[in-house]
């Protein structure tokens, strides 16, 4: 079964073509009308490999040496079938898509590679890099989260807008970006596969960084599955409450209850933005963050509030 296209799709983004619509039938073109000349930017060119540079916006940071060797072997036999996509920057060509092929070409010491040059701004480059990697399932969970966060912070896109562009649900984008709240050490465990995303979601129920790190180490050491990890988190929360003589300090030390954490996550998914839920003995507050006028308008619409 063929894989559904992601977002606008690489084809539409790379060509710079507008989205396909369903216009009213147009009058037939004259038979003798000549075809427009081919835009030189659409032509495949061969450029020196040493004039190509990777983009700093590439979300993928890890490239399997074994997979690159296999790709290099294929290129040695078949050549580079799909040209690299680049843009001109400061006398060089900056990669938009095709970094694996570029790295494999380096392994083969190729002098030239085929490229297609596009005009693209930074946001488009990041979108394309994300989509290409997501389609090929090349990104680990942390790389995916960093890409989403960069779109949100650098280009002020809402989670809903990001989800539309990359063909994911808003909930998937929200859950991915939450991983970046974990301590660096715990993120490293997720990146190298020692912890699953399911484990990470459970650990996020602990609002305290040191406790999150402790839980992660215990989960790895004892080989706990996600269900067992939930039990560990509950014990850590309970232990924190028992070991503090001052109940007010206990509330400060004990992480947010897992039920409150799940409710907070549902609120984030609902509004597509950062939400903090503070709760203590039937009292508290809900803090909804927004980062643009459009995002505020979206929140008001969900709440059925008219700003006028």
**Span 271-281, pLDDT tens digits:** 877 777 777 76
Residue 255, C-beta contacts closer than 8 angstroms, at least 6 positions apart: 205, 206, 207, 208, 211, 236, 237, 240, 261
Query: CA angle, 149 as apex, 145 and 136 as ends, to 5°?
Result: 45
When pLDDT is averaged across residues 195-209 and rounded to a whole number, the result is 87
Specify the pLDDT at position 30.
39
Residues taking part in catalysis: 99
Structure tokens at 6: 């992601």
At 36-77, the pLDDT tens digits run: 344 444 688 899 999 999 888 777 777 778 888 988 999 998
Contacts by residues 237-240 (CB-CB < 8 Å, ≥ 24 positions apart): 237/206, 240/211
Specify the pLDDT at position 308.
66
Q: Tell me the C-alpha distance between 17 and 131, whole Å.
A: 16
Across the chain, mean pLDDT equals: 76
Q: Which CATH number fits domain 42-135: 3.40.50.300, 3.20.190.10, 3.20.20.140, 3.90.1530.10?
A: 3.90.1530.10
Specify the pLDDT at position 31.
40
Task: Tell me the range of 16-20, 25-29, 50-54 where mean pLDDT is highest.
Answer: 50-54
Beta-bridge partners for 86: 95, 117
At 205-248, the pLDDT tens digits run: 887 788 899 999 999 999 999 888 888 888 887 765 454 444 44
| Percent of the chain at pLDDT exceeding 90 | 17
Specify the pLDDT at position 186.
92
Specify the pLDDT at position 52.
93
**Exposed (0-12), middle (13-18) or buried (19+): which is 170, by Cβ within 10 Å?**
buried
Domain formed by 141-302, architecture: Orthogonal Bundle (1.10)
Specify the pLDDT at position 215.
92
Asked whether residue 285 carries a pLDDT value surpassing 60, the answer given is yes
Q: Regarding predicted confidence, which is higher, 131 or 114?
A: 114
Which pTM does this prediction carry?
A: 0.51
Q: Tell me the C-alpha distance between 9 and 298, whole Å.
A: 25
Q: Residue ranges per domain, the chain? A: 42-135, 141-302
Asked whether residue 25 carries a pLDDT value surpassing 90, the answer given is no
Decide if 59 contacts 166 (C-beta within 8 A).
Answer: no
Specify the pLDDT at position 136.
63
Specify the pLDDT at position 104.
92
Specify the pLDDT at position 239.
66
């Amino acid at each position: 079964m063929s894989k559904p296209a992601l977002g606008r799709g690489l084809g539409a983004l790379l060509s710079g073509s507008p989205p396909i619509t369903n216009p009213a039938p147009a009058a037939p073109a004259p038979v003798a009308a000549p075809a427009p000349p081919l835009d030189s930017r659409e032509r495949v060119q061969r450029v020196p490999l040493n004039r190509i540079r990777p983009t700093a916006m590439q979300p993928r940071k890890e490239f399997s040496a074994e997979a690159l060797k296999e790709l290099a072997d294929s290129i040695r036999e078949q050549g580079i079938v799909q040209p690299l996509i680049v843009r001109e920057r400061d006398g060089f060509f900056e990669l938009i898509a095709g970094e694996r092929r570029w790295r494999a070409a380096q392994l083969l010491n190729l002098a030239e590679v085929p490229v297609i040059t596009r005009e693209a701004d930074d946001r488009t480059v990041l979108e394309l890099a994300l989509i290409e990697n997501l389609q090929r399932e090349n990104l680990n969970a942390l790389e995916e989260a960093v890409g989403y966060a960069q779109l949100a912070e650098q280009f002020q896109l809402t989670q809903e807008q990001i989800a539309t562009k990359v063909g994911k649900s808003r909930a998937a984008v929200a859950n991915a970006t939450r991983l970046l709240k974990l301590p660096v050490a715990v993120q490293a465990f997720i990146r190298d596969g020692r912890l699953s995303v399911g484990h990470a979601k459970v650990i996020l129920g602990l609002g305290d960084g040191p406790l999150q790190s402790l839980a992660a180490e215990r989960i790895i050491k004892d080989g706990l599955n996600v269900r067992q990890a939930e039990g560990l988190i509950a014990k850590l929360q309970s232990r924190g409450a028992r070991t503090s003589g001052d109940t007010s300090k206990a509330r400060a030390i004990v992480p947010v209850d897992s039920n409150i954490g799940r409710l907070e996550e549902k609120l984030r998914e609902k509004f597509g933005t950062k939400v903090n839920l503070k709760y203590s003995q039937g009292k508290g507050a809900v803090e909804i963050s927004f980062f643009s006028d459009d995002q505020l308008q979206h929140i008001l619409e969900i709440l059925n509030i008219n700003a006028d």
